Structure 1
Amino acid sequence: MTLDDLRAFVAVCDAGSLSAVARDLSCTQSAVSQRVRRLERELGLPLLERQPRGVAPTQAGRLLRRAAGDGIGTLDLVVRQLHEIRDGAAGTVRITTGAISVRHFMSQAVVAFRTRHPQVGLEFQTSHSGRGCLDALAADTADLAWITIGPSARGVAQRTVVHLPWVLAVRSNDPLATRATIHRDDLADIRHIRLPENSTSRRSLDGHFAQHGTEPDASTSVADWDTAMLLAELGLGHAIVPALPGWRAAEHPGLRLIPIPDLPPLATGWAVRRWETLSPAALAFADAVAESLTPPTLTPHIPGRGPVREPEAVTPPATQATN
């Protein structure tokens, strides 16, 4: 029993004529009759009976017509949807990431993607940690995860999109605000606003401090990078955070971001289960984000001296790690 045989049988039941279906299918009446006979041989029951004008289904034929008609209708709908997904014209892309990542890393890409793929849905899921993002991939509740790149994880492919240099966020009237750069050794004396516990960025920073013996005193801890910078702007301490793409210093006149060239940049990017199994729409969104991001250019403003331009951060080629 093949799908083509069932389609022909349903068409004959609806048309009441073998010849009419043959014309619609651009084949001979004999070919249509052979499809029906194959079904009858397999089922061991007559499915059609001849009438003065055409044919009509038997009792067995009516049962098969109802079941096959419902199934074929559903299958045709699914096939159309699959073709749309294949062509990137429909479907939904499920993205999991931290609460602030869409604002800082994806806002331009979302607009560009929506223009190119207006029928594709975007579903954003907020996770409070990189581990949570990877768990969403493993549970198949997300297609793409935007994460801070960390150690290789089983069953996950990670791809770096942009490297973020570290900066020290301080209030504009803080004594350190006049510095063009901050040396690693100077961090031992700051009032540190710690990054989220169990986050990859915090582990990276803590590991560097442990290696060089410059662990600063922590006065406050926060849930995300934005909150860390806000508290620094309010004068509650100093925040060591990655320089974020699209950061607008003019919107935060009370805050200074001072480069820390001694700290290696933080890698951020995509994690997926397997790139080759992603839908075209998911691949298009991942590419749109990568195309929209450029490495932050650090231009701290020093009162009385004007802006000081630091060399632009260099983004190494994208890498992919798989397990």
Structure 2
Amino acid sequence: MTLDDLRTFLAACRHGNLSAAARELGCTQSAVSQHIRRLEHETGLDLLERRPRGVVPTEAGRILRTAAADSLAGLDLALRRLADLRDGHGGTVRIATGATTVRHFMTDAIVAFRRRNPHTSLEFQTESSSRTCLEAVAAGRADLAWITVGEPVRGVEQRPVAALPWMLAVRHDDPLAARTSLDLADLAGIHHIRLPETSTSRVRLDSHLEARAIRPPATTGVADWDTAMLLAELGLGHAVVPDLPNLARTPDGPLRLIPIRGLPPLTVGWAARQWQALAPAAREFADFVESSA
């Protein structure tokens, strides 16, 4: 059993197709099959179930996939750091984030970190949700992820950093714009601009509203909070958004942000496979973000 055998097996599980795995790995389909057969010979078990349209892991295959994914992710990270040491580079900190995270939470931290670590690279990977950010960390594709903190995830440590109150974003001439605060009951009459259903913050907000039997109609869907606020500014609806850092607030501006009473704040923060095992540069960047947030 070799590392190439395990990497090939994981690629086959990930794609559900030997041809697709071969394309990812830059080899032939027959080479992929040889790696799988060698693993099956050594374990004495069928690891993949062959179907007309691809393959799926058997029960034995799922056990091996879980163990191999955890081990290879840690090994790949170690090899990358050893290569950085060997080549005299400052290394790279890989951060998985949502679409608006860098702008609202990390601008000051990036400047401070670059001053202290001019030879260390920051690599940002934009993900569609906290769930995919967590998957990137669990798979070893990212060292850190900025997420909406939620339920425990196996193999990932979550570290809360900030609790963000909820606000209603409305156009300056909206009837609600003159209010200094709102109650949950006031949300029953809004035309809601919503994030995707896969968004952890959307799920969290919907659960709070549904617990009070509040189901405002959705006027449109957007990918991120900044777009939601822009559409609210244009008068296309109302956006329930967290009180993000670095929001432009002007009394005579086109948008009003009104606090909402009775909604638990949205907790955001970091995720990592093992906090103590992070490279010093990754921990330092996380600390910079935490202090500025």
Q: Distance in 1 between matches of 2:133 and 2:87?
A: 29
| Distance of aligned partners of 1:252 and 1:152 in 2 relative to their CA distance in 1, 3 Å threshold | farther
1:118-137 counterparts in 2 under 5 A? 118-137=118-137
What is the SS of the residue equivalent to 2:158?
strand
Matched, 1:213 2:217: no
Q: Deviations over 1:240-298 (max 9, x none)?
A: 000101112139810000000211100000000000110000000000000111xxxxx
Alpha-carbon offset, residue 99 of structure 1: 1.4
What amino acid is the match of 1:287?
D
What is the SS of the residue equivalent to 1:198?
coil
What amino acid is the match of 2:85?
Q
Partner of 2:290: 290
Length, aligned pairs only = 214
Alpha-carbon offset, residue 112 of structure 1: 0.3
| Distance of aligned partners of 1:190 and 1:139 in 2 relative to their CA distance in 1, 3 Å threshold | same
What is the SS of the residue equivalent to 2:250?
helix
Q: Deviations over 1:224-251 (max 9, x none)?
A: 1011000000000000000101112139
Partner of 1:117: 117
Q: Deviations over 1:134-184 (max 9, x none)?
A: 111122110000001111111110011111100000000001000000110
Partner of 2:246: 246
1:194-213 counterparts in 2 under 5 A? 194-213=194-213
Matched, 1:81 2:85: yes
| Distance of aligned partners of 1:155 and 1:79 in 2 relative to their CA distance in 1, 3 Å threshold | closer
What is the SS of the residue equivalent to 1:213?
coil
What amino acid is the match of 2:159?
R
What amino acid is the match of 2:124?
F
Partner of 2:269: 269
Partner of 1:164: 164
Partner of 1:279: 279
**C-alpha contact (below 8 Å) 2:148/2:268 kept by paired residues:** yes
Gaps of 5+ in 2: 1-80
Alpha-carbon offset, residue 82 of structure 1: 6.5
Alpha-carbon offset, residue 195 of structure 1: 1.8
Q: Distance in 2 between matches of 1:252 and 1:175?
A: 16
Partner of 2:20: none
What amino acid is the match of 1:152?
P
Q: Deviations over 1:20-62 (max 9, x none)?
A: xxxxxxxxxxxxxxxxxxxxxxxxxxxxxxxxxxxxxxxxxxx
Q: Distance in 2 between matches of 1:84 and 1:234?
A: 51
Superposed structure 1 runs of 4+ greater than 2 Å apart: 77-80, 82-85
Q: Distance in 1 between matches of 2:93 and 2:173?
A: 45
Q: Distance in 1 between matches of 2:254 and 2:166?
A: 19
Partner of 2:191: 191
Q: TM-score, normalised by structure 2?
A: 0.70
Identity %: 58
| Distance of aligned partners of 1:251 and 1:278 in 2 relative to their CA distance in 1, 3 Å threshold | farther
1:140-151 counterparts in 2 under 5 A? 140-151=140-151
**C-alpha contact (below 8 Å) 2:84/2:91 kept by paired residues:** no
Gaps of 5+ in 1: 1-76, 294-323
1:224-263 counterparts in 2 under 5 A? 224-250=224-250, 253-263=253-263
Q: Distance in 2 between matches of 1:269 and 1:220?
A: 28
| Distance of aligned partners of 1:80 and 1:120 in 2 relative to their CA distance in 1, 3 Å threshold | closer
Q: TM-score, normalised by structure 1?
A: 0.63
What amino acid is the match of 1:140?
G
| Distance of aligned partners of 1:252 and 1:135 in 2 relative to their CA distance in 1, 3 Å threshold | farther
Alpha-carbon offset, residue 104 of structure 1: 0.6
| Distance of aligned partners of 1:138 and 1:276 in 2 relative to their CA distance in 1, 3 Å threshold | same
Partner of 1:222: 222
Partner of 1:46: none
What is the SS of the residue equivalent to 2:193?
strand
What amino acid is the match of 1:116?
R
| Distance of aligned partners of 1:286 and 1:225 in 2 relative to their CA distance in 1, 3 Å threshold | same
Higher mean Cα deviation, 244-253 or 155-164? 244-253
What is the SS of the residue equivalent to 1:249?
coil
What is the SS of the residue equivalent to 1:123?
strand
Coordinate RMSD, CA, aligned: 2.1
Q: Distance in 2 between matches of 1:198 and 1:125?
A: 18
What is the SS of the residue equivalent to 1:262?
coil
